[in-house]
Amino acid sequence: MPPPFAAVYFDCDSTLCAIEGVDELLAGAPPPLRAEVAALTHAAMEGTKPLAEVYETRLQLLAPRRAELDRIGALYVARLVPDAAALVSALQFLGKQVGIVSGGLLVPVQHVAAHLGIPASHVHAVPLVFDAHGHYVDFDRSSPLWRNGGKIEVLQRLPADQRPVAFVGDGITDAETIGTADLFVGYGGVVDRPAVRARAPVFVATRSLAPVLHHVTTAAERARLARLAPFAALLSAAEG
């Protein structure tokens, strides 16, 4: 479906941010554990293992403490993909609702949303459960986002004023939204996944997220942006 869109939602890891939060949780871990978790993550993102199987095993291995989540959130903000903030600002200026749907952990994703001015009500990720001392207990199994098809469920629940909706993401669980999102934009600027590129009706491979603008806005909307100096650099990057 062509624009205009009422809402644009983004994945977080390797889409809005140039890192994978799970990789950062592994900092300082023994090499065998890093290798095991990295292999699980790769399998989930490429679609060769069911996400639910990978998700549970990975968190059991990592057992992150509550304090680590804020550290990961700060890293997300520090490693935003080029033009991510400007793109979100431009879309919001045009009156579009912007949100995040991520299989990542809720607290770090909330850091990104707060930095970008995305309302908390538009942020969907997986909460963790901790004990009174901040030790990992479990994840919220009521969230659909720890398994395949979870992003489809979230998009299906969006209110009518957020349709039509475009979704932007890098992984196979993002590509699952094809047919539910009114447009899926595959993003390969951080990790170019052949399986996603093959399925995506639209694919952006530049490091900058700016070219996404062309796929989720009309020419008239971009003309509105062109009249405002703060968006000049974004439009130039989108053309490039």
Q: 10 Å Cβ neighbour count for 78?
A: 11
Report the distance separating Cα 7 and Cα 19, nearest Å: 24
Across-strand partners of 9?
99, 167
Q: Look at residues 37, 65, 54 and name the one whose alpha carbon lies nearest to residue 136.
A: 65
| Catalytic-labelled residue, pool 11, 170, 174, 182 | 11
Name the helix (H) or strand (E) containing 76. Answer: helix 66-78
> Is 29 exposed, middle or buried, given 0-12, 13-18 or 19+ CB atoms closer than 10 A?
middle
Q: Is 13 a catalytic residue?
A: yes
- Quick check: 180 and 155 in contact, CB under 8 A? yes
Q: Is 11 a catalytic residue?
A: yes
Q: Which residues of 36-47 are buried (b: 16+ CB within 10 A; e: fewer)?
A: bbeebbeebbeb
For residue 129, give the 3-state DSSP assignment.
strand
37 half-sphere exposure, CB direction, 13 A CA radius: 22
Report the distance separating Cα 217 and Cα 212, nearest Å: 9
- Write down how long the chain is: 240
Query: Which residues carry out catalysis?
Result: 11, 13
